Chain A
């Protein structure tokens, strides 16, 4: 199912978790029942579909989801230590995060603590229940459940209507996101919802890519996790849904991934655009800033594009956008150098089109500007932007009649103009255009019909 995006943009601040540790749950089985229910829904879910599993889980509150995540972590630890499963009995010391509290523990330590309740959050009975559930799985299965669960929550995040949630708690809460909405360059409200993308991220944080070799969680080494980050940050860019926390998590985890760095740069490039710089008045909430000044956003975008190019000098689109950012920062000569290099290397008509338009726009000399706009017109013959550019070049060369004639070609082109004819209007979202297909590919690999067993 293709995800449709609208003009409206969303700027998301995913609120940091600062929940206190040590909140005990009843030692009966409702929590375990909830985990089993979640696992069953994950099993039933067709990735990429808005199915009954999505409709059920999207209404779950943050506390339930937090319990699921913590219990999955606990299960993974149990599996790690259990000699009866593949790779078991080799549990390393791991920093574990239970309800926001980082504690160093190993399963042995955990075992010794069971009597006193595991890090204050688990009863002995609950731990025993978790271990029983874990033993029913092998290590590969827990990875599979974590990934499928992440895809379920990704579908909720991108394909289902958000469920509004709010807490009177003055602290930022786990799995709660606050979004500042903008429409047509104007702030149009604020909303609060369960952050299912963060839930997906936290599930993938527990992934162990190769259960037979890896004792620790190395999600960054897992191909699916890497693709998931590329796809999701791309989808966010394509939707102008600027989730800074997700971007930060992506770049922290995948510091050497040119595509993630490129998309993160595109996010900051968009944040530097007038839509957000002038359209967003709520730039921080409770001391957390999520839209910086234009120069800061441009600087961050430039840094990320340069890092992407350092990893992959052949990333032409990163070079085009670096050129655009440099031009915005007033470094026209360097900008034109990057744009020309990119233009010569590009095989993608869309990227070539952007490069040509940007060269035409930034080039002070009339002839190279005209040549660039003509090249753009060749690539997209029915697009308006090259005609506007050619008209302006005629105007600045003193040819008013020529300027009017170029614009006249827009008016007399016959067919009704369509935004599909001219990709210029989607410049800020186009960087994420591969997100949909990337996520589709991941979903296809995890389709229930392709389940290995």
Chain B
């Protein structure tokens, strides 16, 4: 969960700035909580909502929504891809086309990064607005080795929160985790400490409970595709969906500073489908 330093100790939330250089620093006290919310009715996005339409509770305590944004914040798209040996050939080609299409859909203020995982982790490019750099890195990919899916997810999560942009962690894997060091439970816990919204894509028959869990917990979605020929349209739909989420912000009040905070988001007077992170964790475990 992103935390914002107040200008003066004990002051209320510093208004959100969008300076890319601004790096949030962890404090044991949460100053500001941001929640990415997808609102749908009959599988269609619900637009035109205002802050006053939402109700957010933190551990059951209703919070004051301080601002709401829609399609305004820049995106940080972190693409964490399986580069194990099973990706050789057609699967890699489909993945590259899909990844380039994601880059095509980014705005000049958006940034992207690539994390690759097999036996090893690699980050060919840092989070950058220079998308040409990312494209070049994608063209050099070479699948080999085993699949450290959980470690790769974790590495992607650590790239989140580097600036004021909204973090989309887009994970693709076609196989079973065979070599990660970290247990899934620890990475799920790490995910609850970050702002990143995880969208995961797997190929039919290789679905990962871990990816389903981390996607659900961060308010994202896990998608199972029939084959990698569906990757391009899946990535496009994820990016479109992510852009059209509401971003709500509040300063927690009436709840303990540390520990697990269960979040609930509602739209007043309606019963749409709400997809948002299930909570956030602050402080030591």
Contact = CB atoms under 8 A, between A and B. Distances in A.
B179 to A, nearest CB: 5
Interface in B250-285: 258, 282-285
Interface string A360-404: 010010100000000000000000110011011001111111011
B123 A411 contact: yes
B121 A417 contact: yes
Interface in B72-131: 84-86, 119-123, 126
A425 B146 contact: yes
B46 interface: no
B179 A425 contact: yes
A357 interface: yes
A400 B26 CA distance: 6
Residue of B28, B126, B158, B183 contacting most chain A CB atoms (<10 Å): B158
A185 B284 contact: no
A424 interface: yes
A274 interface: yes
A391 B156 CA distance: 12
A239 B118 CA distance: 19
Contacts of A419: 119-120, 145
A85 interface: no
Contacts of A183: 85-86
Main secondary structure of the interface of A (DSSP, over half): helix
A166 to B, nearest CB: 27
B258 to A, nearest CB: 8
Given A185-B176, A274-B176, A275-B176, A397 B120 contact: no
Contact of A7 (B146, B177, B190, B282): B146
B150 to A, nearest CB: 10
B86 A384 contact: no
B284 A398 contact: yes
Interface residues of A, number: 39
A397 B154 contact: no
A404 B285 contact: no
Nearest to B177: A274
B182 interface: yes
Nearest to A410: B121
B138 interface: no
B283 A184 contact: no
A384 B178 CA distance: 16
A407 interface: yes
A353 to B, nearest CB: 12
B178 A398 contact: no
A404 B159 contact: yes
Interface in A240-296: 273-275, 278-279
Q: Give the bracket for the number of chain B residues in contact with chain A.
A: 35 or more
Nearest to A411: B123
B87 to A, nearest CB: 9
Residue of A184, A400, A424 contacting most chain B CB atoms (<10 Å): A184
A398 B28 contact: yes
Contacts of B122: 417
A384 B145 CA distance: 15
A417 B120 contact: yes
B212 interface: no
Nearest to B2: A400
A361 B181 contact: yes
Given A7-B145, A425-B145, A392 B120 contact: no
A70 interface: no
A404 B2 CA distance: 14
A392 B190 contact: yes
A398 B24 CA distance: 13
B190 A395 contact: yes
A186 interface: yes
Interface string A408-424: 00110000011100101
Contacts of A395: 158, 189-190, 193
A183 B194 CA distance: 34
Given A274-B178, A279-B176, A404-B158, A392 B186 contact: yes
Interface of B: 23, 25-26, 28, 84-86, 119-123, 126, 144-148, 151, 154-155, 158-159, 161-162, 175-179, 181-183, 186-187, 189-190, 193-194, 206, 258, 282-285
Interface of A: 7, 183-186, 273-275, 278-279, 357, 361, 364, 366, 384-385, 388-389, 391-392, 395-401, 403-404, 407, 410-411, 417-419, 422, 424-425, 427
20 contacts: A184-B145, A184-B175, A185-B178, A274-B177, A279-B178, A384-B121, A391-B154, A392-B186, A395-B158, A395-B189, A395-B190, A398-B26, A401-B23, A401-B26, A403-B158, A404-B159, A404-B162, A419-B120, A422-B119, A425-B119
Given A185-B146, A404-B162, A417-B121, 16 more contacts: A184-B145, A184-B178, A275-B178, A361-B182, A388-B154, A395-B158, A395-B190, A396-B186, A398-B282, A398-B283, A399-B26, A400-B193, A407-B158, A410-B121, A417-B122, A425-B146
